[in-house]
Amino acid sequence: MLGNFTYCNPTRLYFGKDAMQGLEKELPKYGKNVLLVYGGGSIKKNGIYAQVKAALEKYGKNVFEDAGVMPNPTVEKLYEGVERARAAKADLILAVGGGSVCDYAKAVSVSVHCDEDPWEKYYIRFEEPTCEIVPVACVLTMVGTGSEMNGGSVITNHAQKLKIGHVFGTEVYPKFSVLNPEFTFTLPKYQMVAGFYDIMSHILEQYFSGTDDNTSDYIMEGLLRSLIHSASVAVEDPKNYEARSNIMWTATWALNTLVAMGKDTDWEVHMLGQAVGAHTDATHGMTLAAVSMAYYRYIMPYGLAKFRRYAVSVWGVDPAGKTDEAVAAEGLERMEAWMRSLGLVMNLTDLGVKEDMIDGLVKSTLVMEGGYKVLTPEEIAQIFRASL
């Protein structure tokens, strides 16, 4: 049965080809000073920057820019962003980009008025903000993280070999987000499919927990079937609006906290993948793909009933005349074949990981307790080696 919970999501979404009209509706609600946050400059090439800038100018905003947010935002970049936001006296932080840009904007938002080191306070001690929070809004250009409708914020500290996510409360959620699927059309295939797998991993990490019959699992099975179909279409036709819009919407629902309600949730794949990212700076979705099969095959015996259900309900495996173990294994085989068909990275070697890095990766991996098996350091090392 579902556990007790309280659910609230205050983010307003504007979705579709005309979603930018939402930006114009929202801007008058905020003060004059806007910190415009974005990544490497692709939004200037594809025209999104010009659209955003025009809306800001239309409403007389003072625009201060914070460009160069990297795919795995660093603690050094966070400190830089805090100084930029303070200098701008930002009334709104507008993140234009993918999940990393949105994550970074939230980290800045809780740090501008913080009188402590935000890395220590939020990412080591996992404390909640006690200071004023600068409002955040997002214009999404890549799907995967769900950061446009949640409180998640992942920051990397290369010196400490740590990549850590803090899931902040609803007061840190974006006030509004603009989701136009057409803004994702120009994304390179590598980043596109990495985002697709990030979506799948978010769903699976919530699905593979608990043994009860609950509504959340049925919702997740539908989201997974939609993602599997639409991702296959999008790989062949990246500008297929129907597929890309379905994927964008699935990504949001995968991690806006709805399907986590009443469940323990696992998240160990993300801990494994983030450890890899901390050491290699590899693309997030690819780090998840590289460790997933080894992890799920390892924990399958501990959650066999759910893995069997996954095989039948999501992958259409016929269970007739087969053991539960055989059905579950066939489901993972079909999942692996689909992953390969998308062009995902399926091993850590291709991400630059070598055998002599395993001990360091283990030390960088946080151990979670919500899944079917709480891993020991030895088991984590075993999974990393199986992923090479």
Whole-number pLDDT of residue 1: 61
Query: In sequence order, what are the beta bridge partners of 14?
Result: 178
CB-CB contact of 107 with 73 (8 Å): yes
CA distance 142 to 162: 24
Whole-number pLDDT of residue 330: 98
CB-CB contact of 160 with 363 (8 Å): no
CATH topology of domain 189-387: Dehydroquinate synthase-like, alpha domain (1.20.1090)
CB-CB contact of 208 with 170 (8 Å): no
CA distance 387 to 295: 9
| Residue ranges of domains in the chain | 12-183, 189-387
Read off the pTM.
Answer: 0.95
SS3 (DSSP) at 271 = helix
| Continuous H helices in the chain | 20-26, 42-45, 48-58, 75-88, 99-109, 118, 189-207, 215-236, 241-254, 268-280, 284-299, 304-313, 324-342, 358-363, 377-387
SS3 (DSSP) at 365 = coil
Residue 114's nearest CA partner among 128, 125, 124 is 128
Query: Which positions ≥6 away from 10 have C-beta within 8 Å?
Result: 170, 173, 175
DSSP conformational letter for 74: B
DSSP of 153-196:
EEEEETTTTEEEEEE--GGGS-SEEEE-GGGGTTS-HHHHHHHH
* Cβ count within 10 A of residue 331: 24
Whole-number pLDDT of residue 347: 98
Query: Which positions ≥6 away from 305 have C-beta within 8 Å?
Result: 211, 324
CA distance 6 to 249: 23
CATH number of this structure's domain 12-183: 3.40.50.1970
Domains 12-183 and 189-387 share a fold: no
Q: Averaged in consecutive runs of 10 residues, what is the pLDDT profile of the chain (388 residues)? A: 84 98 97 96 92 97 97 96 98 97 98 97 97 98 95 96 95 98 95 97 97 95 98 98 98 96 94 96 97 98 98 98 98 98 98 97 97 98 98
